[in-house]
Structure 1
Amino acid sequence: MITELEPLEAGRLQRLLEQALALPAEQRELIFQGLSRFSRELVLCFDAAGVLRHVSANCQAQLGCSAAELLAEPGRLEALVHPDDLALWHERHLDPGHEPFEVRLLAASGQREWFEHYCRLLTDVSGAPLGRIGTFLNVSQRRRGAEELEARNTELQRLVTQVECIKREWESSLDCIDQVIVLVDVEGVICRINRAVTRLYGQEPAALVGQPLAAFLPAAVVDTVLNYGSGEFFDDRLQRWFAWQSVPLATQQLVTRRAELVVTLHDVTELRHVTTELAEAYASQQQTQTQLVQQEKLATIGQMAAGVAHEINNPVGFIKSNLGTLAKYAGRLRGYIDQLEQLLRQTGDAAALSGLQEARRQHKVTGALEDIDDLIAESLDGAGRVQVIVQNLKSFSRVDDAGFQWTDLHECLESSLNIAWNEIKYRARVERDYAELPPLYCCPQQLNQVFLNLLVNAAQAIAEQGLIELRTRQEGDFLVVEIEDSGCGMAPEVIERIFDPFYTTKPAGEGSGLGLSICSDIVQKHHGELRVRSVIGRGSCFSVRLPLTAGEGADAVDRPAPAASYARRLQGAVKPRSGPIGR
């Protein structure tokens, strides 16, 4: 009785087919059909010439076409092969020298499915070739299972790699933390510790794992740390303070647990030092606040002085006006005396003329008439100076003109120069290099404060007679003012802190350390930059760089009509170039 065939590797199918080929055609066909019916594979038999002679009955179930159709159309089988597998098909089909190979065929399902194709040579008892037998076994399900298994293995490997990567990242993250983090079991034995312990205690983490906490912590604090909580302790061996905290490890969801406690140690030595310094700084701040209050009083006095100067302006105006009138009267009086002497000469009254000349000598009228013009001119010049000082004080304080407005930057600079002139005139000469500048939308009161501070600092940096240079220029949409002195200069470490609040290089009591800090804040509020370059022994140069529209709302304010610039008026002035205007 014929049963279901074993796989081809056993050779049973080949032997049975070889025996069947020796039988008459009718018997041979019956055997072929029987063998096909009990085989899982699709069986194809070819004669010695390679012509297809038999197709098993399961062809319809496997390929969706009948055995008769496959026998009637020799090219039908090759047409079922996937185009990408044709090269392999041509190479191995009907070649018994190759091992089984897999190829995609158009199956009964209408889809391309994988078949394992095996070709064996059929011979008679003498070994002469009788033909070839080819089998096709649908291995799509097996292949899909293998692919799914491979995909699962790939995903599992990916997850394992990801877990290992996360583990390394987590361990690396812990090692990057400057706090010592320790995982401890119920016996107080170290299960895991990060590399911060090497930096603080000089011990390797691997050497400490499996050791008790006392292997690196002072024995006196171990029991306290293991009882949960937080606190601080001083390590006599390291001479440093540490803050510690211990909390239970929340791993109740895990099946197995090693660590029971997480202990963290943080070096707070520097923090304690900072706390001490802050206490000292607070005491210093109280003293500084007292000084600032005193400075505020001085600032109030300065405002009052500006108010007094404003009140001086009116009587000075009267004085100037009266001096001008007096100059006119002196001229008339001189003309009257000269005309009187001329009339006496014309009348020939020698006695009267002699008496008049004697009186003129006795009262020194000639000398008085010669000096009166110079006296009036000097008085007018002095009154003019008083008016300039008053105007500069008024402009500097801006009592009647605050806020942002279109301003001539040179006027701000000259106003500040006049205020600081008493500090400058005994130390340095001033040279100007002014360019033609457009109006600047700014707060002149604040810029006056910046320029005054820079000018006073420049003068104080000069020990003996030196030079202060004032330069202006336009760079695109920015105006630049440079104030350079030939003073002592500054070291790089001083330049780094020069704009810090309360930093000063002046002796105690001579500087608050707020001047340049305030200047920097003012320039920044104008969206500008305050820069400095300095060389020890050669001097310093402060550069104020301001955008043309330094204040908000410039577009809403009409720009002033073009007028003669301050630089051009300065070129036409008769005053010396090395001093302030009005001096």
Structure 2
Amino acid sequence: MTATTPQIGLDELRTLFLFESLRDEDLQWIADRAEVRVFDGDAVVFAQGEPAEGLYVLLDGGLRLTKHADGEDVAINETTHRGAYSGAVRAYASGHPEDYQTTLATTRPSRFLRLSAEHFAQLVTQQCPMAVHLLDGLYEGVRATESAMRQREHLVQLGHLSANLAHELNNPAAAAVRATEQLRGRMSAMRHKLGLLADGGLSPDLVSRLMKTQEVAVERAAKPRPDLTALEESDLEDAIAERLEEVGVENAYDLAPVFATAGMDAHWVDDVVEQVDSGLEWSAAFGWLRYTLETETLMTEIEEAATRISSLVGAVKQYSHMDQAQHQDLDVKPGIESTLVMLARKLSGIEVHRDYAAALPAVPGYPAELNQVWTNLIDNAADAMGGSGVLTLRTRADADAVFVEITDDGPGVPEEVRATLFDAFVTTKATGEGSGLGLENARRIVERRHGGSLSYSTGPEGTTFCVRLPLHRQRG
């Protein structure tokens, strides 16, 4: 229920910090035009999107300000402080919002002083005309500066991620191109060797036996082989080369490393000779087998490169959450892993330890925005370690929340910035290397968008940032 009480007295007006310095005639002017409204607990005083028709000042009780964005009500402020105000606070300014930008509700039975937007604008303009212009310019300047800096932060982050991704994609792409070029040469050589064999008048039975030896070699090459020392590898190559020379193969020492790398040995040479046993030109036969094995190796390289590219594209899709709902119940692990892929180049000299809890419960949230949090925290950790060290990622949960901890073994946060580390434009990086908005943005996403918390502990042994995400949250 809402009620309007009699006109407010001058003595009570003087107790409000907004009006405490005004003259009696000015206070009387306000008293003649204002009204006092009484609300029950949990009542909506005004709602976001309604015409901004008045300024509300808390006389007693409590209020909560929320802003509806992307399907949820984000808490802006909750207070019982006498004199707290909201509503048409910029009615005096040019281009002021015509609608309420937030929703104001009571948290207990409350009284408010209400002054119409028109009268509030008139009061401010009469009392301090120059300040109106200064405040107007200051407000627009701060808003424009913050907007530009946030845009720059996002562009810089996008640039870093794009550079990392380009580097990661370039390696398998270049490997695939190189392998394809070599494969073309090997195929041409295989045709040449096959022609030499055909000149020897191959019978169908001999062709069948040659194909059988080829299949055996390919199957053997596909199997895992034990790791050999450099000396063992050299001895294996010498043994193969010696046996090839014994059967009359030219360039035996050129062929031997290929066969050794593919997992063949001197006994395999004997098996080929025994199975074919035809008086063939052995240089052409073993040359043909060499190109067969090299072709298989190159095709494997192309397959691995294509798989790597596909994995990277999948990681990008996971990171950006394309084709997925904006808000969903999510597992935090895939987002962290896709972020590591996106930052792989920057983490190339860093050892990553994973300590993920098993069967971690899903949390309600915005996956793409949480990935911005992981990106900022992991990127900062890499910077803190100077490109080398140990990055530890931990996840755990209790009955109420999931926790993600990101730890570096760098020198710790400098003492002089610890108290203001999450404030906008505060950075520990060198001039020009950071905007100071990364951690502020991360905390805003965690706290305002997900109702969680972002904290940290630091010391000479390193820094740990802890993200707490509640398992249940009331959404609007």
Calculate the TM-score normalised by the size of structure 1: 0.38
Question: What TM-score do you get using the length of structure 2 for normalisation?
Answer: 0.46
Which structure carries more relative contact order (alpha carbon 8 Å, separation 6+)? 2
